[in-house]
């Protein structure tokens, strides 16, 4: 597996293994993928500071990786840890829904 | 069909990719449109995936076109297991890099949607798979599953449109399957996007018997068969039987083959039926249809030819026992490998399925004689309009293979000819009508050649006897304006024999009498002749006597005259006798 970038180098590693293992699938440098990446970084820094690890996979570079996580839509954010696997598709523009999707915030129904 | 692809493709307007499915290429004039998507729709279990898989596998194995199978419902193992039943080894093809399988799975509960996205991931996967095997063919089965997985249908529809465009741009021949909707071809209206070729599969149950059917709804830029064609998913894949693609151009053999019943051969110009012709044997219950069929088989096997019997009423052992009772021994032929008996219940499957089963069995066994006993069970409760085209397919197929086929058909009444039979009979070259004639408290079998194309057949009704040495035909009693059979015939014959005997005796007696009379007359003639002789002799004797007397008298007179001195005046009385 070819890992492209790890973001938030300073926050992720040091003290304890990342609680949130995230993988962002994009297809080239599109506005959508750029937006998704920016949104993701902002949300993570805000809510999961120090507890996450992000891996970015460009499917144009590594098309064979799409099947493994059953990627159809791009951008897709996959939460590998904590279990179970969660997927968030779209440019992650809605912060609340991203947090719900990552189970950082409880779903509205279950409040 | 497979061989003629290139020709067909060039003659039709647009290039075609053969599916390799028997019959389907004939219906579509060569196959699916090259470089365009084809929609295959149908209800659950209609055979969409099987059709798509066969298209892909045959493309890879027979036409040198590798393929990608992208599945949205089953996973690769399930698919491989499913198509293994048709004899396709997807795993091996994957290893050979001829086929690429990709299982696209979306779990709705895992997915959160936020903001804009597209399905570029799907495109990338597809492109990757296509490149990995250099594919020319693509199957998307069933892409509509995405509608359940992705909440934003607006994006999905836009992306599907783009996908089909994408497939076309890359010149990929694609099969897209779709579940049948309420009033639409597909539940999510895929036909909006895939408009080049639409094939509809149908799985109908009628009278508790299911039949699969296929119809080409639309084929842009190409002529195609528009009928519904029955098809079967067998262990060699799909078989579609198009009737319209079959021309009436089969060979007509001049060879005549024996029916196994000498008397019947006599009725058919003394030589039997033409090889490759079809024979219908109709009759009510117990008229001996099966026995005629068995004789036919027996004769073929004795000639060293292969025979195939489809029995829909009796099991093979039962049939052999029963035929043994009339002296037809089928068991040795089975042991020699010359005879195969396929027994099954007619209700096992629909007529079309039976047809395909027969087709496959014939292809495998290559018989020269095929018997279906009885065909009426297959056509039970079926309308003629359905039965006739199906049987026509079967008969056309047999004729093409130069197989002599005999079909028995049960009629309900002694002289009733069913409507369906009249319809079916027009497909048959020879029609034998067996019937029971009831007279004087007994029923006797008769046989009659209703028609026999190209053979100067007898117009006589013969009596049909089942003896323990086989079937025998004897002339029915004809005379005094009636036809008699059975004991009535025997009685009449005996009476005639007796009368003949009496007449003969009488004649003999009269001859003898005449002889006697002649003899006695001869005797009388002899007696009379004897009497005549006696009379003549008497007369002669008397004459001589008289002559002597006269002489002596003359002499006396002479003597006397001499004595008296007178010279002799001879008296005339001396010679009265003529002699």
Query: Please, what's the b/e burial string for B14-35 (b: 16 or more CB within 10 A of its CB; e: otherwise)?
Result: bebbbbbbbbbbbbbbbbbbbb
Question: What Cα–Cα distance (Å) separates residue B40 from each residue in A91, B49, B211, B563?
Answer: 35, 9, 18, 168
CA dist list (Å): B261 to B92, B300, B430, B543: 54, 12, 15, 90
User: Alpha carbon of B191 to those of B161, B188, B435: distances in Å?
Assistant: 11, 8, 57
Ramachandran class of B239: left when φ > 0, alpha when ψ lies in -120 to 50, beta otherwise: beta
The confidence band for B10, taking pLDDT boundaries of 50, 70 and 90, is: very low
Q: Do B117 and A27 touch (CB under 8 A)?
A: no
SS3 content of chain B, % helix, strand, coil (to 5): 40, 25, 35
* B337/B313 same-domain check: yes
Examine residue B393 and state whether it is found in any structural domain, yes or no. yes
Kindly report, residue by residue over B426-476, the tens digit of the pLDDT.
778 888 888 887 777 777 888 888 888 888 888 888 888 888 877 888 776
Residue spans of alpha helices (H) in B175-278 = 262-267
Preferred mutation among A27, A29, A72 to probe B, highest tally of B CBs within 10 A: A72
- Which residue of B114, B116, B122 is in closest CB contact with A72? B122
Domain boundary among B442, B457, B475: B475
Cα B330 off chain centre by: 19
- Backbone φ and ψ for B34, nearest 5 degrees, come out as -70, 135
Q: What is the mean pLDDT of each run of 10 residues along chain A (111 residues)?
A: 43 54 89 89 86 88 85 88 84 85 69 44
* Contact between residue A75 and residue A89 where contact means Cβ atoms under 8 Å apart: yes
**Domain annotation covers residue B557:** no
Nearest C-alpha neighbor of B186 from the set B312, B320, B41: B41
Q: Is the Cβ–Cβ distance between B473 and B515 less than 8 Å?
A: no
Q: Is the pLDDT of residue B27 over 80?
A: yes
Which structural domain range is residue A26 located in? Answer: 9-104
Does B555 reside within a domain?
A: no
> What is the model's pLDDT at position B138?
94
Q: How many domains, chain A?
A: 1
Report chain A residues whose CB lies below 8 A from the CB of B122: 72-73
- Tell me if chain A has a CB within 8 Å of the CB of B153: no
Q: Does B175 share its domain with B263?
A: no
**Are residues B196 and B313 located together in one domain of the fold?**
no
Measured in whole angstroms, the distance separating CA B322 from the mean position of its chain's CA atoms is: 22
Mutant choice from A27, A29, A66 vs B, greatest count of B C-beta within 10 A: A66
DSSP string, B7-68: HHHHHSSS-EE----BTHHHHTTSSEETTSEEEEEESTTSSHHHHHHHHHHHHHHHSS--EE
**Of all helices (H) and strands (E), which one includes residue B535?**
helix B486-564
Final residue before a domain boundary, out of B475, B508, B541: B475
For residue A105, the distance in angstroms to the closest alpha carbon of chain B comes to 13
| DSSP 3-state of B256 | strand
Q: How many distinct structural domains can be found in chain B?
A: 2
By the 10 Å C-beta count (0-12 exposed, 13-18 middle, 19+ buried), B414 is classed as: middle
* In-domain check, residue B498: no
Alpha helices per DSSP H over B259-350: 262-267, 289-302, 316-324, 331-336
Question: Average pLDDT of chain B?
Answer: 82
Chain B closest CA to A67's CA: distance in Å?
7
Give the CATH number for residue B154. Answer: 3.40.50.300
Asked if B98 and B165 sit in the same domain, the reply is: yes
Residue A38 lies in a domain: yes
Q: Please name which of B89, B80, B81, B86 lies closest in space to residue B237, comparing C-alpha atoms.
A: B86
Through-space distance between the first and last CA atoms of chain A, rounded to whole angstroms: 39
Is residue B62 a part of any domain in this protein?
yes
Are B294 and B422 found together in one domain? yes
In-domain check, residue A51 = yes
Chain B residue with minimum CA distance to A98: B114
Cβ distance A89 to B117 less than 8 Å, yes or no, reads: yes
Task: Give CA–CA dist B512/B514, Å, rounded.
Answer: 5
Q: Are residues B220 and B330 in the same domain?
A: no
Tokens of B284: 């009510």
**B423-428 contacts: CB < 8 A, separation 24 or more?**
B423/B384, B423/B387, B423/B388, B424/B280, B424/B375, B424/B379, B424/B387, B424/B388, B424/B391, B425/B280, B425/B282, B425/B450, B425/B451, B427/B278, B427/B388, B427/B391, B427/B392, B427/B395, B428/B278, B428/B279, B428/B280, B428/B395
Do the beta carbons of residue B398 and residue B379 sit within 8 Å?
no
Task: Give the chain B residue nearest A28 (alpha carbons).
Answer: B120
Domain assignment present for residue B563? The answer is: no
Question: Which phi and psi (to 5°) does residue A20 adopt?
Answer: -110, 115
> What is the pLDDT, as a whole number, of residue B357?
79
User: Do the bridges between strand B307-311 and strand B339-343 make them parallel or antiparallel, or are there none, so unpaired?
Assistant: parallel
Residues of B noted as catalytic: 73, 313
Work out the average pLDDT over B522-548: 90
B106: contact with A, CB 8 A cutoff: yes
Query: Per the domain annotation, does B116 fall within a domain?
Result: yes
If asked whether residues B226 and B266 sit together in one domain, one would say no
Domain boundary among B430, B445, B475: B475
A98 in contact with chain B, both atoms CB, cutoff 8 A: yes
Nearest to A90 among B103, B117, B122 (CB): B117
The helix or strand, by DSSP H or E, that contains position B472, with its residue range, turns out to be strand B470-475
What is the complex's ipTM, to 2 decimals? Answer: 0.82
**What value does the mean pLDDT take over residues B417-421?**
57
- For the cut 80, the answer to whether the pLDDT of residue B208 exceeds it is no
B158 and B262 in a single domain? The answer is no
Write down the pLDDT at residue B382: 61
Residues B180, B45, single domain; the answer is yes
- The whole-angstrom distance between A14's CA and the closest CA on chain B is 30
φ, ψ for residue A68 (rounded to 5)?
-60, -45
Does residue B215 sit in the same domain as residue B157?
yes
Residue position matching structure tokens 């009249």: B422
**Cβ-based contacts of A75 with chain B (< 8 Å):** 117
User: Cβ separation of A97 and B119 shorter than 8 Å?
Assistant: no
Higher pLDDT, B482 or B203: B203
B117/A75 CB distance under 8 A: yes
Q: At what angle do helices B153-169 and B120-133 cross, to 10 degrees?
A: 30
Chain A environment of B128 (Cβ under 8 Å)? 63-64, 66
**Among B247, B280, B207, B230, CA closest to B386:** B230
The contacts found for B503-506 with CB under 8 angstroms, 24 or more apart, are none
Residue B453 vs residue B381, higher pLDDT: B453
Q: How confident is the model at residue B3 (pLDDT cuts 50, 70, 90)?
A: very low
CATH of the domain at A78: 3.40.30.10
Contact call for residues B291 and B320 (beta carbons, < 8 A): no
> Is B507 within a domain?
no
- Give residues 22 to 61 of A whose Cβ lies within 8 Å of B: 25, 27, 32, 35-36, 39, 59-60
Cβ-proximal residues to B176 (8 Å cutoff; 6+ apart), any chain: B37, B38, B39, B40, B139, B140, B141, B143, B164, B190, B194
Q: Is the dihedral of CA B414, B416, B422, B424 positive or negative?
A: negative
Q: Tell me which chain A residues have a C-beta less than 8 angstroms from the C-beta of B125.
A: 63, 66-67, 71-72
3-class SS at B314? coil
A63, A88, A89, A105: best mutation site toward chain B, by most B Cβ within 10 Å?
A89
Comparison of pLDDT for B538 and B576, the residue scoring more? B538
* Domain span at B99: 5-240
Report yes or no on A3 lying in a domain. Answer: no
CA-nearest residue of chain B to A73? B119
At B369, the pLDDT band (50, 70, 90 cuts) reads very high
Query: How far is B212 from B228, CA to CA, in rounded Å?
Result: 10
Q: Per the domain annotation, does A110 fall within a domain?
A: no
A87 located within any domain: yes
Tell which residue, B428, B429, B434, has the closest CA to residue B415: B434
Nearest to B119 among A73, A88, A98 (CB): A73
Query: Does residue A1 sit within a domain?
Result: no
B137-173 pLDDT per residue, tens: 999 988 888 888 888 888 888 888 999 999 999 999 9
pLDDT above 70 covers a percentage of chain B that reads 88
CB B90 within 8 A of CB B79: yes
8 Å CB contact between A44 and A54 = yes
Confidence at residue B390, expressed as pLDDT on a 0 to 100 scale: 72
The residues with which B439 forms a beta bridge, in sequence order, are B442
pLDDT tens profile B84-120: 888 888 889 999 999 999 888 888 877 888 888 888 8
Residue with tokens 């003949």: B500
At CA B371, angle to CA B24 and CA B298, rounded to 5? 145
């Amino acid at each position: 597996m070819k890992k492209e970038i790890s973001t938030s180098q300073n926050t992720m590693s040091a003290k304890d293994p990342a609680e949130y293992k995230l993988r962002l699938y994009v297809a080239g440098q599109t506005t959508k993928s750029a937006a998704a990446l920016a949104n993701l970084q902002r949300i993570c820094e805000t809510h999961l500071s120090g507890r996450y690890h992000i891996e970015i996979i460009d499917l144009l570079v590594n098309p064979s990786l799409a099947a493994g996580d059953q990627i159809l839509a791009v951008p897709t954010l996959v939460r590998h840890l904590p279990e179970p696997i969660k997927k968030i598709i779209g440019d992650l523009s809605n912060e609340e829904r991203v947090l719900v999707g990552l189970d950082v915030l409880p779903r509205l129904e279950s409040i | 069909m497979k061989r003629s692809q290139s020709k067909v493709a060039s003659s039709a307007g647009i290039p075609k990719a053969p599916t390799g499915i028997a019959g389907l290429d004939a219906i579509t004039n060569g196959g699916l449109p090259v470089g365009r998507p084809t929609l295959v729709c149908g209800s659950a279990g209609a055979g969409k995936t099987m059709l798509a898989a066969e298209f892909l596998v045959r493309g890879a194995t027979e036409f040198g076109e590798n393929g990608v199978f992208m599945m949205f419902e089953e996973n690769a193992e399930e698919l491989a297991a499913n198509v293994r039943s048709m004899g396709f080894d997807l795993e091996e093809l994957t290893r050979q890099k001829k086929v690429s399988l990709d299982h696209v799975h979306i779990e709705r509960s895992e997915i959160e949607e936020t903001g804009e996205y597209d399905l570029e991931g799907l495109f990338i996967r597809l492109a990757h798979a296509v490149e990995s095997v250099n594919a020319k063919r693509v199957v998307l089965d069933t892409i509509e599953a995405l509608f359940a997985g992705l909440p934003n249908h607006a994006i999905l529809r836009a992306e599907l449109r783009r996908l089909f465009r994408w497939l076309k741009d890359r010149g990929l021949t694609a099969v897209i399957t779709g579940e049948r909707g309420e009033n639409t071809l597909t539940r999510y209206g895929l036909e909006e996007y895939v408009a080049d070729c639409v094939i509809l599969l149908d799985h109908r149950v009628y009278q508790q018997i299911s039949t699969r059917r296929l119809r080409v709804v639309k084929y842009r830029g190409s002529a195609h068969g528009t009928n519904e064609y029955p098809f079967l998913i067998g262990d060699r894949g799909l078989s579609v039987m198009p009737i319209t693609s079959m021309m009436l151009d089969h060979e007509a053999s001049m060879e005549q083959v024996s029916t196994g019943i000498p008397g019947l051969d006599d009725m058919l110009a003394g030589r039997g039926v033409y090889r490759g012709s079809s024979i219908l044997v109709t009759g009510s219950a117990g008229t001996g249809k099966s026995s005629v069929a068995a004789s036919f088989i027996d004769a073929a096997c004795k000639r060293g030819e292969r025979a195939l019997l489809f029995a829909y009423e009796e099991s093979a052992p039962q049939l052999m026992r029963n035929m043994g009772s009339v002296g037809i021994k089928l068991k040795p032929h089975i042991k020699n490998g010359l005879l195969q008996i396929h027994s099954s219940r007619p209700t096992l499957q629909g007529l079309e399925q039976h047809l395909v089963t027969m087709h496959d069995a014939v292809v495998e066994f290559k018989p020269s004689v095929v018997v279906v006993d009885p065909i009426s069970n297959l056509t039970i409760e079926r309308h003629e309009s359905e039965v006739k085209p199906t049987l026509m397919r079967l008969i056309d197929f047999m004729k093409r293979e130069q197989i002599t086929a005999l079909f028995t058909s049960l009629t309900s009444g002694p002289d009733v000819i069913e409507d369906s039979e009249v319809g079916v009979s027009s497909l048959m070259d020879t029609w034998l009508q067996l019937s029971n004639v009831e007279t004087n408290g007994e029923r006797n079998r008769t046989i009659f050649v209703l028609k026999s194309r190209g053979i100067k057949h007898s117009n006589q009704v013969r009596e049909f006897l089942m003896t323990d040495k086989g079937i025998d035909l004897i002339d029915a009693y004809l005379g005094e304006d009636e036809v008699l059979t059975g004991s009535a015939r025997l009685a009449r014959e005996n009476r005639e024999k007796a009368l003949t005997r009496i007449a003969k005796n009488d004649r003999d007696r009269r001859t003898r009498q005449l002889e006697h009379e002649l003899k006695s007359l001869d005797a009388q003639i002899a007696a009379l002749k004897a009497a005549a002789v006696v009379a003549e002799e008497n007369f002669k004797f008397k004459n001589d006597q008289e002559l002597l007397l006269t002489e002596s008298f003359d002499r006396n007179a002479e003597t006397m005259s001499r004595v008296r001195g007178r010279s002799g005046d001879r008296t005339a009385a001396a010679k009265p006798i003529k002699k």
